[in-house]
Amino acid sequence: MAAPLLDVRDLEILYDKAILAVRDVTLSVSAGEIVALLGANGAGKSTTLKAISGVLVAERGERTHGTIAFDGVSTAKAGAADLVERGVVHVLEGRHCFPHLTVEENLVTGAIARRSKRSELRNDLDRIYTYFPKLRDKRALTAALASGGEQQMTAIGRALMARPRLLLLDEPTMGIAPIVAREIFAFLARLNAEAGLSILVAEQSSALALRYAHRAYVLETGRVVLTGTAAELRERDDIQHFYLGSGADDPGTRRKRPLPVGNPV
């Protein structure tokens, strides 16, 4: 059996050397697989993704136990930029587009680390516009004036410009219309099927994520409490009630709940 593309074992994360945010998290993503990381706000999803992509240190977070390996090689000494070059690209929660740049300028920033030729850059832009036709029409629009859905498409497109092997997505449907949320997940499934891109997506919308993922892990207070194939978990009616809270399956109206005391995730 081939080793997984991403292998996380017994992960423990502390913030400010005192606040335990994630404990004993073990998960994997195989090449060509979509894996969902489910859980309510504060469950540890964002922290787990940030540990994988190497951006945790910017938020005074620290991996105190466990290992993370990408393509069989430890990431312990790799910074965020190194991991992007190796193919691990993270779309953070909240989209984080550069507001004063146009949509197309935002997309181009995703290819900076590759030092692409102009012809390669244009080909990649055309590919993104094929995936997201709405962005072609809005390419000259300042990102700050784009809708939430258009900004999310821009953030995902920018990540794809880096030509990832593993795409990390944090709450891609947060605050956008349900129809756009479904479009984004359908696109991710298409990208996975056509290009074989591996995807780890953190989501509160269990119904939507489990419709498109192959497998899923459910986090609660920083621990994995349930795992299985998407088909298996779709049959469990306790996931929504016990692990995700009310209203979590409406991505258009979902709002963050107050954080549990002692957990900054």
The CATH number covering residue 234 comes to: 3.40.50.300
Q: Is residue 213 part of a domain?
A: yes
| 131 burial level (CB within 10 Å; 0-12, 13-18, 19+) | middle
Residue 241 has what pLDDT?
67
Confidence of residue 124 (pLDDT cuts 50, 70, 90): very high
Q: Count of domains in the chain?
A: 1
What DSSP line would sit under 181-246, residue for residue?
HHHHHHHHHHHHHHH--EEEEEES-HHHHHHH-SEEEEEETTEEEEEEEHHHHHT-THIIIIII-T
Residue 253 has what pLDDT?
39
Mean pLDDT of 49-66: 93
pTM: 0.88
Residue 221 has what pLDDT?
92
Residue 29 above 90 pLDDT?
A: yes
CA distances from 70 to 29, 83, 110, 165, 229 (A): 10, 9, 21, 10, 22
Q: Is residue 222 part of a domain?
A: yes
Q: Is residue 156 part of a domain?
A: no
Q: Is residue 183 part of a domain?
A: yes
Q: Is residue 125 part of a domain?
A: no
CA-based end-to-end distance of the chain = 34
Residues 53, 55, 59, 63, Cα dihedral to 10°: 50
Q: Is residue 172 part of a domain?
A: yes
pLDDT digits over 66-107, tens only?
999 999 999 999 999 999 999 999 999 988 899 999 999 999
Q: Is residue 32 part of a domain?
A: yes
Residue 21, domain extent: 6-96+164-244
Q: Is residue 129 part of a domain?
A: no
pLDDT digits over 197-252, tens only?
999 999 988 889 999 999 999 999 999 999 999 999 988 877 766 666 544 344 44
Residue 265 above 80 pLDDT?
A: no
Residue 58 has what pLDDT?
87
